[in-house]
Amino acid sequence: MSSLAILLLKSAVSLLLLVQANPNADAALRAQAIEIANQAIRVATEQTGNQTSHQSVTTPVITSISPLSGPSGTVVKIRGNNLAGFEGDLIAIFKRSDGKTAELYSTVPYYSGHASDPLNTSLIQVTAEPPCKKGQTVYGSYSGIASTCDYFEFTPGTYTVYVQPWGKKSNEVEFTIK
């Protein structure tokens, strides 16, 4: 592998870790950073003539959301295909009508432990509630870097729900907070 390919891969991983460390950053900026990282990975693999495993991932698709509505604190199951992202992250994005988003991490693990389906890429289960308390110190899931909670309140209304593993946005479904 050339030194250029190694540098590109290291840069891509660093960028993806930075995105993971800042889950409350502007969604458009995060998507752009992920796309830049993906481009760096593509160039690096072209340099080496190899393929990386995530390149074969197709666009994620949400096939169902259950229930369709409930109060804040409702457990929501999102089913579909290709829902897992970087290192198996299973993240649902809830977008309010004002455009503000919350990324909710699945309580169902990526590594299922079942021989028939060892990797879970088809189910995300989240609780539709604020991911942190206002003013709380939170830590990046990969970096461990401390930051202040970007508080997100689940107020009554209809939310657009989608996933975006590897920078590939799924179809959108709706969930209503009563």
CATH number at residue 39: 2.60.40.10
Determine if the pTM surpasses 0.85.
Answer: no
- The predicted pLDDT at position 54 comes to 45
- The predicted pLDDT at position 52 comes to 44
- The predicted pLDDT at position 8 comes to 65
- The predicted pLDDT at position 88 comes to 79
**Host domain of residue 109:** 3-177
Domain count, the chain: 1
Place of tokens 């999102």: 78
pLDDT in tens, the chain (178 residues): 566 666 667 777 777 777 777 778 777 777 777 777 777 777 666 655 544 444 455 889 999 999 999 999 999 999 998 888 877 789 999 999 999 999 999 988 776 655 555 667 789 999 999 988 998 998 877 778 889 988 899 999 999 999 999 889 999 999 999 9
